[in-house]
Amino acid sequence: MTKTEGTLPVAILVPGHFNDHAIGRIDKAFQRVRIERADPALVTAEMRKSVRGIASFGGIDAAMIDALPSLEIIANFGVGYDSVDAYHAAKRGVMVTNTPDVLTEEVADTTIGLLINTVREMYAAEKWLRDGDWVKKGNYCLSRLTLRGRSVGIFGMGRIGLAVAHRLEAFGLSIAYHNRRKVEGLSYEYHATLKGLAEAVDTLICVAPGGAATEKAINAEILSALGPNGVFVNIGRGSTVDEAALAAALKSGAIAAAGLDVFADEPNVPKALLDAPNTSLLPHVGSASDHTRRAMADLCVDNLISWFGERRPLTPVPETIDVKPRA
């Protein structure tokens, strides 16, 4: 926490539900203004005049930014900020911050757990025990898949992707990756195209951010390239996957299994994925521990406090790195 906390009479807008710890700190440091959702139609004349900051889980579009002429900063709760129009914010001279690093290890842990659960059918095996089938029917069936001998491709070798790769090394698995560009100094095999990566591996882990550049990047062609022994895991953003193509690939045997923590239209999960027996599905819990969410909340609020107290952001997103505080 920053030393200037408790001295800043600034109005901060908090749309919808927000982290309780973050709200407690905002209430101590600022004048919190609440609305039901980030909707320009809900912005009052007083908000237009007084609101200088937003603390939000996302969903701040250009219209919402334009509805608040005095807005200086959007503090996004989460490392992904694809639902914030950061390019428009930059044009308006509005800083956007996110919460990187503090959730990296937790999300990487979840990724490994989801991969193992998908390959070794842990959920189904536990259900077998809890339903009494071990007693009534005998041992659970042998899992069709294994981690042994697998080669893993990571789509998105950023902070989280690298943490996932380091964990996978301990399992003795070979690792390759695809990014927009090669990461200097990284020894893992680099593939210039996502299809090339999918063709080279049998396990594809998506840690890529959302946005237009990655929209439905995981499509029928990529899944076909992964092959019938292929396992797909998504811990990044649901928008990166063509979910209809994924469901079809799972049903036809074009790939063997999928583990998903994120979906295109959360919390709505396509029935075809829910019905698929070769899926492991989680309700977007990658960083969802008290420990990590508290750290994210602190960084989110610390960005606001630093911006209004010291006139600098702690973790600005690249699009707004050059935005300067207003006089």
Q: Tell me: the pLDDT tens digits for 229-255? A: 999 999 999 999 999 999 999 999 999
Among 277, 219, 225, 224, smallest CA distance to 251 is for 277
- Mean predicted confidence (pLDDT) in 181-192: 96
Contacts of 216 (CB under 8 A, 6+ apart): 239, 240, 241, 242, 245
Given the residues 32, 120, 167, 284, the one annotated as active site: 284
Q: Specify the amino acid at residue 174.
A: S
Confidence class of residue 78 from pLDDT cuts 50, 70 and 90? very high
Q: Where are the beta strands (DSSP E) in the chain?
A: 11-15, 31-35, 51-56, 73-76, 95-97, 151-155, 174-178, 189-190, 203-206, 231-234, 257-260, 279-281
Distance from the first to the final alpha carbon of the chain = 25
Concerning whether 106 is annotated as a catalytic residue, the answer is: no
The kind and range of the H/E element at 244 are helix 243-252
Q: What does the alpha-carbon distance between residue 201 and residue 301 come to, in Å, rounded to a whole number?
A: 41
pLDDT at 193 over 50: yes
User: Which residues are CB-neighbours of 155 under 8 A, at least 6 positions away?
Assistant: 161, 177, 178, 194, 197, 204, 205, 206, 207, 208, 217, 218, 236, 240
pLDDT tens figures, 86-144: 999 999 999 999 999 999 999 999 999 999 999 999 999 999 999 999 999 999 999 99
Q: What is the pLDDT of residues 25-75, one digit of tens each?
A: 999 999 999 999 999 999 999 999 999 999 999 899 999 999 999 999 999
Q: Is 284 among the catalytic positions?
A: yes
Chain-centre distance for alpha carbon 97: 15
- Whose CA is closest to 16, among 49, 60, 47? 60
**pTM to 2 decimal places:** 0.93
Q: Find residue 260's DSSP bridge partners.
A: 234, 281
Tokens of 312: 């600098």
* CATH superfamily of the domain spanning 11-100+289-320: NAD(P)-binding Rossmann-like Domain (3.40.50.720)
Please name which of 296, 327, 320, 241 lies closest in space to residue 77, comparing C-alpha atoms: 296
List the catalytic residue out of 266, 291, 310, 311.
Answer: 266
The CA distance from 227 to 153, in Å, is 13
Q: Where in the chain is the domain with CATH 3.40.50.720?
A: 11-100+289-320, 104-281
At residue 6, the pLDDT reads 52
CATH of domain 104-281: 3.40.50.720
pLDDT of residue 3: 46
**Catalytic-role residue among 237, 243, 293, 319:** 237
Catalytic residue at 121? no
